[in-house]
Structure 1
Amino acid sequence: MGPCITSMLFGPKLSRRAALGIGAAALATPAVVHAKNLRWRMVTSWPKGRTGPGISAQRIVDRINAMSGGRLQIDLFAAGEIVPPFAVLDAISNGTVEMGHTASLYWQGRMPSAGFFTSVPFGLGPIEHQAWIELRDGQTLWDELYRPHGVRAFLAGNTGPSMGGWFRHKLNGVEDLKGMRLRVQGLGAEIYAKLGAVPMTVSAGDLLPALEKGTIDAAEFLAPATDLETGLPKYASFYYAPGFNKPNGASELLISLAAWETLSTDLRNIVMEACRAEHTLGLADAYQTNAAALTEILGRYPVSLQAFPRSVLDMAQSASTELLSEIASTSSLANRIVESYRKAQDDMRGWSALAADMARASIRTSSAAR
């Protein structure tokens, strides 16, 4: 009988105990390398494939699945397939699913400052908002706000600034808003309530039937591409701008804290980078598709593009200032969120105004050259 493999590799003096230890280690190594892959479920607040947030959710899933090499496999579910659109936070918090794609404005009923992580009336635009979250203390405050619910959140797509919405009748002033049943989400709903309107909560999937049947008088959703896909130009003739109530359109990816803790560092980085990439691509996508959609809407439907009356904007601005102070008074954390947001807005206001002026000048020069 020839020499054993242990003797050939380590010499004749290796003890039986050491040899058994080496053998056990060798057998254990492949078990780590070939550890069982994770399979998670992501629920959303959107119909499947919906322009903007629905597409963002799909792209995030596709990125994570590809970048992880299958070690973290995500299955995507549209609103209503597992949970209703406004139950995403609860589904993750109670462990029904591991992930969700939604918007923080849906949770302001239980967390008054949650809307700051989607959009604030007359507030930060998409790039300014991202700077607040990623380069200042926005993410830290967001983590603190959601921790009691057992979830954490990341920016995960952006539909850009919203339009003001679709109205059946022309607005001549604030008095025309009195008693108006308006589908509007987020902090903008509270602004409209202060102006005398009746805010209505209607999911994306139920929005068109509500406008068609007349159960609502007006509808604010997102921007031209999503509005066109939804069919809103069919049942309202007046399209208003600017969307003062939602100057930003940030989506969020929610992850169960318990599930997050099971991920290796590289898988966590993959999830975060997949979200960050979608914020950039989603915003670029929004600008391109909204430009084309607005042209189609105005050329295909008997729609009148309108600016909000000055009286509406002035009263809305005043109501927004009042609302932010009310939110700040709800808790010490809410106060810190409001103050941090306001500070970011103050610090970036000068450059943002100058950048906007340069963009307008570029558009005028380009148009004149044609």
Structure 2
Amino acid sequence: MDRRKFIKSAGIATGAAAAATTLSAPAIAQAKKDMVIVATWPRDFPGLGTGAQRLAARIGELTEGRINVQYFSAGERVGAFDSFDEVASGNAQAYHAADYYWKGKHPAWAYFTSVPFGLTHNEQNAWINHMGGQALWDEVASGFGLKCLMAGSTGVQMGGWFNKEINSADDLKGLKMRIPGLGGDVMAKLGASPVSLPGGQIYENLVSGAIDATEWVGPWNDYFMKFYEAAKYYYYPGMHEAGSTLSLGMNEKWWSDLGKTDQEIIKAACGEEHTFSMSEYNANNGTFLTKLLKENGVELREFNDDIYDSFGVAAEEVFGETVAHSDLAKRTHESFVAARADVGGWMKLSEGAYFQQRNRVLGL
């Protein structure tokens, strides 16, 4: 080979390699994505806070740092209820929250957390994953520039903490109660005054007497909130949240700009957390209910049938107003009702009947 031709060819090859090396650094930098997550929960709060923090860490871990995740709990970057606007505007990339907090923006948001006489954890999963729920959620969220995924669950919640006995629906009249979502609207129909407060502000309002009652989640979470110091009557079951779903809500443009692999990784991390959190609640609620009853003098009470019937009548009024809001609200409600009838009918014959017989035989 001619020496001059060889040197010329080698020079071209070396230049091409150098150019590739020069271009690779910006290309790699562009591949990295920042993800600021703002949550509605206090830092390190069992279940809600720790689950959101776990999800944030998992996304960074699974992407090997390609997605640089920064997590902020309620109040560290924005207030708990400001997280929606922070993400919709693009100032942050994601929130972790219960989407019924946003029902004032559109009532359909409530269905993707929980609504009165709603879906249990298993029923909600069936609706969202297989019966059109996710498509409706996408439609609601896209109207605000968001994309949402299931990212946690608390299961059936307790009815709440009250500073007096509730023996009839009349006992709810005039009661100031922290209860968000459509459940709060049901209480309003029965004469109560619903108050929407982020978790970090409930205790101080209950102790001061600014509110007379509150719902939160269940024994595990409620134990650490120390509600028993201000209200000793603990009622069950909660009509307002049968299978509360937590959400990772992301800025839609940021989501759409991700590569397919990163989208699938985030979906997988959310699915993992969704399953893990429900098992975590089931593992802890019984233990902490025992602590509340035996160590803190809490009195466990069950809402009687007359009160529950009143809840049902009020809920139908609330649903009537909800479907009148818009076509999207109507379609969301109708899809939810169809899933409740179909999946709920099966659950009654399967898990419901089994629980009833198992508990009868074992005396549980």
TM-score normalised per structure 2: 0.93
Residue in structure 2 matched with residue 357 of structure 1 by the alignment: 353
Q: Which residue of the partner structure matches residue 239 of structure 1? A: 234
- TM-fit CA distance, 1:366: 4.0
Q: Which residue of 2 aligns with 1:163?
A: 158
The reply on whether 1:284 has 2:284 as its aligned counterpart is no
SS at match of 1:113: helix
Equivalent residue number for residue 294 of structure 1: 289
254-263 or 265-274: bigger deviation: 254-263
Question: What aligned pairs does 1:318-329 form with structure 2 within 5 A after superposition?
Answer: 318-329=313-324
The correspondence of residues 224-235 of structure 1 with structure 2, limited to 5 A, is 224-235=219-230
Taking the aligned partners of 1:190 and 1:80, their CA distance within structure 2 comes to: 27
Could you tell me how far apart the structure 1 residues matched to 2:102 and 2:29 are?
Answer: 40
Task: Give the letter aligned to residue 98 of structure 1.
Answer: Q
Partner of 1:262: 257
Unaligned runs of 5+ in 1: none
Q: Which residue of 2 aligns with 1:307?
A: 302
Give yes or no for contact 1:102–1:253 (8 Å, CA) kept in 2. yes
Any conservation in 2 of the 1:171–1:309 contact (CA below 8 Å)? no
The 3 A distance-change label for structure 1 pair 88 and 33 is closer
Does residue 44 of the first structure (1) align with residue 39 of the second (2)?
A: yes
Aligned equivalent of 1:140: 135
1:48 match: secondary structure: coil
> Kindly tell me: are residues 83 and 2 of structure 1, through their superposed partners in 2, closer, same or farther at Cα, counting changes over 3 Å?
farther
| Counterparts in 2 of 1:353 and 1:7: CA distance versus 1, 3 Å | farther
- Structure 1 length-normalised TM: 0.92
Residue 291 (structure 1) shift: 1.1
SS at match of 1:338: helix
Match of 2:83 among 67, 70, 88: 88
Structure 2: runs of 5+ lacking an equivalent: none
Equivalent of 2:55, from 60, 70, 91? 60
C-alpha separation in 1, matches of 2:319 and 2:3: 81
- Identify the match of residue 340 of structure 1 among 329, 335, 338: 335
- The residue type equivalent to 1:272 in the other structure is K
Q: Contact (CA 8 Å) 1:118, 1:251: kept in 2 or not?
A: yes
Q: Name the CA distance, whole Å, in 2 between partners of 1:222 and 1:26.
A: 54
TM-superposed deviation, 1:20: 6.2
CA contact (8 A) 2:35 2:69 kept: yes
2:191 corresponds to: 196
Q: 1:79 — aligned with what? A: 74
Change (3 A) 1:3 1:163: farther
Q: Classify the secondary structure of the residue corresponding to 2:241.
A: coil
Runs of 4+ in 1 over 3 A off after TM superposition: 1-4, 14-36, 363-368
1:144 Cα deviation after fit: 0.8
What does residue 174 of structure 2 align with?
Answer: 179
The corresponding residue for 2:209 is 214
Q: Contact (CA 8 Å) 1:152, 1:255: kept in 2 or not?
A: yes
> Which deviates more, 31-40 or 271-280?
31-40
Aligned residues: 363
Measured after TM superposition, the shift of residue 27 of structure 1 is 5.4
In structure 2, distance between residues paired with 1:198 and 1:234: 22
Is the contact between residue 44 and residue 85 of structure 1 (CA under 8 Å) also seen in structure 2?
A: yes
